[in-house]
Amino acid sequence: MTSKIYSDPDVTMVEPGKLGAAAHPDPRTATANDDPRALGQAPEDFASQWKLIWISFRKHKLAMTGLIIVVLFYLIGAFAEFLAPFDPNASSAPDIYHPPQMIHFIDRAPDGGWSINPHVNFLTAERDPFTLATTFTEDPDRKIYLDFFGKGDPYRLWGLIPMERRLLTTENPDEMFFLFGADRLGRDMLSRTIYGTRISMSIGLIGVSLSLVLGLILGGISGYFGGRTDMFIQRVVELVISLPTIPIWLGLSAALPQDWSPLTRYFAITVILSLVAWTELARVVRGKFLTLRTEDFVTAARLDGCSRGRVIFRHMMPSMVSHIIASVTLAIPVMIIAETSLSFLGLGLTPPIISWGVLLKEAQNIRSIAQAPWLFVPGAAVCLAVLALNFLGDGLRDAADPYVQDND
Amino acid sequence: MDSTAPSTMPRGAPIPNTRDHDNKGRDTTVLEIRNLSTEFVTKRGAFRAVDDVSLELHAGKTLCVVGESGSGKSVMSRSILQIVDPPGRVAAGQVLLHRHRTARDAGIEDTVDLLQLSPTSKAIRNLRGRDIAMIFQEPMSSLSPVHRIGDQVGEAIRLHERVSKKEMRERTLELLRKVEIPNPGKAIDQFPFEFSGGMRQRAMIAMALACNPTVLIADEPTTALDVTIQAEILDLIRSIQDESDMAVLFITHDMGVVAEIADEIAVMRYGKVVETGDVYDIFEAPQHPYTQRLLNSVKELDQPSERRLAMRQARPVGAPCLVSDGVTKVFGAGKNWRGREARGLLAVDRADLELRKGENLGIVGESGSGKTTLGRCLQRVYDVTAGHVLYTAEDGRELDLAPMTENQLAGPWRDIRTVFQDPFSSLNPRMTIGQIIAEPLVVAGKLTAPEIRDRVFELLELVGLPDTAYMRYPHAFSGGQRQRVSIARAIAPNPRIIIADEATSALDVSLRTQILDLLLDLQERLDLSFILISHDIAVIRYFCDRIAVMYRGRIVEAGDTEEVCRNPAHDYTRSLLSAVPVADPRMRGQKQRVRYTETT
């Protein structure tokens, strides 16, 4: 937190940059001992907390990039059915370990003319009669034409709305294309990765919401009441932190009954993850409570006659929300990584649920590295999502308190 | 720029000595600042914090730079050694150090333009500390907490001179002796946390003096200290200067300190020097209207407000309405979690005090004297360990606040209100001014929303803020304006008593009288009684009818303000009053300093 000493009158002068132009737009007008009625007229002077946060967040280039990528990921997750070209569980025996294809937009006709028509070149599979190894070779004469917003397999968006159109389909419904390649059952990796986005990104969000509830309640109680309660809760937090996470996850998820439905299992895994992850948030909330409790404006609210609830929710909460959002953003990638690791080890989610971790489990053997490196595409998605969330969280944390001079 | 060149080489282009005015046969100008400008580059363009400043420092003389917050005096002093924090940068000008005019390097012509040196070069690092040393305001954070005092002072020597460890220790001891640190043999091996604020500032001065600098830059070195300690530090700087012929650049906002220590004055405002001159001339006949106003507000303060005296004539002080009867507050006492008895800290010890209706009571004391704790006990923000707080309500009932619960206190809290010290942390940055002022009215729930709105506009009018403030957030307001908002919130539920805890300490001098006058104005209109807690005798003298002096949790003396100030009965009061700097250079040295040592 900032120093509480304002006795150096030049502080506002020395560091106008850190202070942000918003706080003291121009010391010449702000420090006027002239007319007390003179008020700054800069746009920032009218801005509310969220506007100030947005102004300082926007300056953080990396965080803005992170924000865009994260939003994209969640959009992909939300509209997975529409964006995926095929049913992620539809297997196709001839296309086992089909390599990725390049999408071409310019279609050259044999007579030399050309037109814009998106397509991929067909790959013919040939099996070596002695080694039984399959090799794919490009057949320049056979093209698979693609269609934007064409009709594909019928599906239900979010399990509710019956639809047929997809973002990208083949003109001929019997043909298939594999932009990210295919796996050992000939399933389209692009569709599977898109469906995996839904599960992996949402497990982060739901898991963090659960741990946020726990963290808010326990951290809030701990910070507001202090004393013995605080002591007890903090010791519990330390105990939970001291437990090695991987064995705990392993133990708990191994204890899940095998006959549970995939959906129940999914929720059970989120609960397990958040049971371990709430401690960090509880500490953040408690810390904020402790610093805020001594602020003069909280004492002032008490003296105004506010009830305990009003002091907390009307006066203290608004100052904490931005910090909590930042912490939550930084907690999501931890969840995503945790889910991915668990599923990779085969103890988290299991097929038929598709998550990035489940997909990576397919790439566990040496053969996939040698023959089908495209099975690692979900790994790249994990990296990108986690990086983007971390950048976003860092930016939010820096912008969370637009009133302090120096972010700690 | 080549950073490996030896520091004694003149850097940059040779500088012609244009202004060779003789002063007692010899030019004593050791540091010359010419047309210095420092800019802060923000997204709204460059802001000139220091604008075309030219100053001269003479050997053995003290130049005081005075100015209010935001005048650029600190940035100016930091520009000299190029230690301005980014995004600030020196935009133009010269800072010439005439090393040949100092006792050490007498003779050979040797002038360095400090601004030509790269801020990270070895050349400027050699100058820092050796030729030009600096002391900062905050003694608590300027010393490294993990190194011993002796090592920190010694390091300053070893950085610039090749000395053996033994020699270093001897010289450090000598320095500590010079800055009057008691028992230097022991102090040299102590850590900063074992030192009080004043002792740390002495250690800082010892560090600054380690290499006999030509120029000492002191940036508000006494602002964070109590008056009695401030007086000692000022004496120390003076006596060292007398011995060593050092030039001192002293930055301060306190005219009393200026009168005490300055030979020359430069008054800064909005980054520009508006007036320079001899200390006597300026105090006698200030030329610039700003200097006149600054001096006026200082002089105005140190005497009773005529307004107040007139008001007391018209409306005499009534019966006691808030009485502290043996209030005692102990922090951290009771059993700890293992059931052991903790002794705790006795912050207020059996304080007896009474506030009468319609009067202003001042509580004065140094930091740690328990004055703030007493104020908070009287309002029952803190629990009272022992004693009674007797409040006479409007209907004549006498209530003891001490044993009440928070729910029972809701009523008295509407009658007894607070104005906080820190105008920045006392207003919730997430609420608009309208919401902040309306909060006590909303909670009380007696008025409808439109009535509350009208009342808030009325309150804004009362404290002299425009209606447009209603929708704004606190960050759009300056310190003085925020304090007005704080006052508006305090008077919102029609209180009878207001406890103002250092309500003016964070403000500039000229703003202090404004705020105090506003409080007096409100007293006249709304029939209020005030308790003003302050460390500043001048403020108390201006505002308060009666005064209580606190020392180490006890009220050592109480009585009529003028009476106590003229004829202090207690030894501590005497020492406190004698330490307060008087804003008149002619009084310098005439006042007898009394040091108070407790006899128990």
The interface residues of chain B toward chain A in range 328-347, judged by CB-CB distance below 8 A, are 337
A200/A88 Cα distance (integer angstroms): 15
The three-state DSSP-derived secondary structure of B302-335 is CCCCHHHHHHHHHCCCCCEEEEEEEEEEEECCEE
CB-based contact, A40 to chain B, within 8 Å: yes
Check CB contact under 8 Å for A13 and B466. Answer: no
Q: What is the pLDDT of residue B599?
A: 57
* Chain A residues in contact with B381 (beta carbon < 8 A): 299, 302-303
Tens of each residue's pLDDT in chain B, 600 residues: 444 444 443 444 444 444 444 444 456 788 888 888 888 887 667 788 888 889 888 888 899 998 887 788 888 888 888 888 877 888 888 888 887 666 555 556 677 888 888 878 888 888 888 888 888 887 777 888 888 888 888 888 888 888 888 888 888 888 888 888 888 888 888 888 888 777 888 888 888 888 888 889 988 888 777 888 888 888 888 888 888 888 899 998 888 888 888 889 999 988 888 889 888 888 888 888 888 888 888 888 778 888 888 888 888 888 888 888 888 888 876 666 566 666 778 888 888 888 988 899 999 988 878 888 898 888 888 888 888 888 888 787 888 888 888 888 888 888 899 998 888 888 888 888 899 999 988 888 888 888 999 999 999 988 888 888 888 888 888 888 888 899 999 998 889 999 998 888 878 887 888 889 889 989 988 888 999 998 888 888 889 999 999 988 889 999 898 888 888 888 888 888 888 887 777 777 666 677 777 654
- Tell me the pLDDT band of A3, cut-offs 50, 70 and 90: very low
A301: which chain B residues are within 8 Å (Cβ-Cβ)?
A: 428, 439
Closest in B253, B413, B469 to A9, CB measured: B253
Q: What is the rounded end-to-end Cα distance, in angstroms, of chain A? A: 6
The whole-angstrom distance between residue B577's C-alpha and the CA centroid of its chain comes to 17
**Are B407 and B457 within 8 A, CB to CB?**
no
pLDDT of residue A26: 41
**B-chain residues near A315 (CB < 8 A):** 428, 431
Give the whole-number percent of chain A exceeding pLDDT 90.
Answer: 0
Nearest C-alpha in A relative to B511:
A33
Residues in chain A with CB shorter than 8 Å from the CB of B135 are: none
The pLDDT, as a whole number, for residue B27 is 66
pLDDT of residue B584: 79
pLDDT tens per residue across span A229-272: 888 888 988 888 888 877 877 787 778 887 887 778 778 888 88
- A&B contacts, CB < 8 Å: 175
Contacts of B138 in chain A (CB under 8 A): 5, 8
List C-alpha distances in Å: A310 to A38, A304, B405. 33, 11, 17
* B95, B80 contact by CB (below 8 A): yes
The answer to whether A59 and A381 have CB atoms below 8 angstroms apart is no
- CA dist B529 and B521 (Å) reads 12
Domain borders along chain A are 1-46, 67-77+192-399, 94-184
> Looking at chain A from residue 46 to 65, which residues have their Cβ under 8 Å from any Cβ of chain B?
46-49, 52
Q: How far apart are CA B493 and CA B504, in angstroms?
A: 22
What pLDDT is stored for residue B548 in this prediction?
Answer: 92
- How is residue A329 written in tokens? 């953003």
Query: Would you call B495 an interface residue with chain A, using a CB distance cutoff of 8 Å?
Result: no
Cβ contacts of B118 within 8 Å, gap of 6 or more: B1, B3, B124
Q: Does A9 sit within 8 Å of B75, measured CB to CB?
A: no
**Residue B419, SS3 per DSSP:** strand
Please name the member of A36, A37, A296 whose beta carbon is closest to the beta carbon of B420. Answer: A296
Place of tokens 């053997």: A365
Asked if residue A118 lies in contact with residue A106, where contact means CB atoms within 8 angstroms, the answer is no
* A277: closest CA of chain B, how far (Å): 29
B272 to chain A, any CB pair closer than 8 A? The answer is no
CA nearest B210: which of B127, B154, B293, B266?
B154
Q: Which of B75, B418, B505 sits opposite A13 (nearest CB)?
A: B75
Nearest to A190 by CA among A76, A336, A60: A76
Q: Per the CB < 8 Å rule, is B74 touching A297?
A: no
Give the contacts of A310 (CB within 8 A, at least 6 positions apart). Answer: A301, B443
pLDDT of residue B44: 66
ipTM score for this prediction:
0.75
pLDDT for the residue B479: 81
Q: Return the amino acid letter for A322.
A: S
Say which of B44, B68, B406 has its CB closest to residue A21. B44
Report the b/e string of B40-70 with b at 16+ CB within 10 A.
Answer: bebeeeebbbbbebebbbbbbbbbbbbbbbb
Rg, chain B, Cα only: 27
For chain A, give percent helix, strand, coil, nearest 5: 55, 10, 30
Cβ(B322)–Cβ(B310) below 8 Å = no
What are the extents of the domains in chain B?
132-212, 303-394+496-561, 421-495
Tell whether the model's pLDDT for residue A127 goes beyond 80.
no
Beta carbons of B75 and A52 less than 8 Å apart:
no
Contact A319 B381 (CB under 8 A): no
B475 in reach of chain A (CB within 8 A): yes
Q: Given an 8 Å threshold on Cβ–Cβ distance, is B514 in contact with A33?
A: yes
Residue with token string 């922090």? B331
B443/A305 CB distance under 8 A: yes
State which H helix or E strand residue B121 sits in: none
Angle at CA B168, nearest 5°, toward B167 and B171?
Answer: 85
Q: What is the 8-class DSSP label of residue A315?
A: I
B562/B308 Cα distance (integer angstroms): 13
Q: Which residues of B touch A46 (CB under 8 A)?
A: 471-473, 476
Q: What number of other Cβ atoms are within 10 A of residue B10's Cβ?
A: 14
- What residue spans of A294-376 are helical by DSSP H? 296-303, 308-310, 317-344, 356-362, 366-371
B303-394+496-561: CATH topology is Rossmann fold (3.40.50)
The CATH topology of domain A67-77+192-399 is: MetI-like fold (1.10.3720)
Q: B381 at the A interface (CB within 8 A)?
A: yes
What is the least distance, in Å, from the CA of A44 to any CA of chain B?
8
> Do A8 and B74 lie within an 8 Å CB cutoff?
yes
Distance from the B421 Cα atom to the nearest Cα atom in chain A, whole angstroms: 9
> What is the sign, positive or negative, of the torsion defined by CA atoms of A148, A152, A158, A162?
positive
Report whether B540 contacts B561 (CB < 8 A).
yes
> pLDDT, tens digit, for every residue of A41-99?
666 666 777 787 788 788 888 888 889 998 998 988 888 888 877 778 777 777 777 77
What's the half-sphere exposure (Cβ side, CA atoms, 13 Å) at A31?
22
Q: Tell me what the mean pLDDT of segment A103-125 comes to.
A: 76
Specify the pLDDT at position A8.
Answer: 37
| Interface-testing mutation among A304, A312, A316, with chain B (most B C-beta atoms within 10 A) | A304
Residue length of chain B: 600
Residue of B42, B69, B466 lying closest to A17 (CB–CB): B42
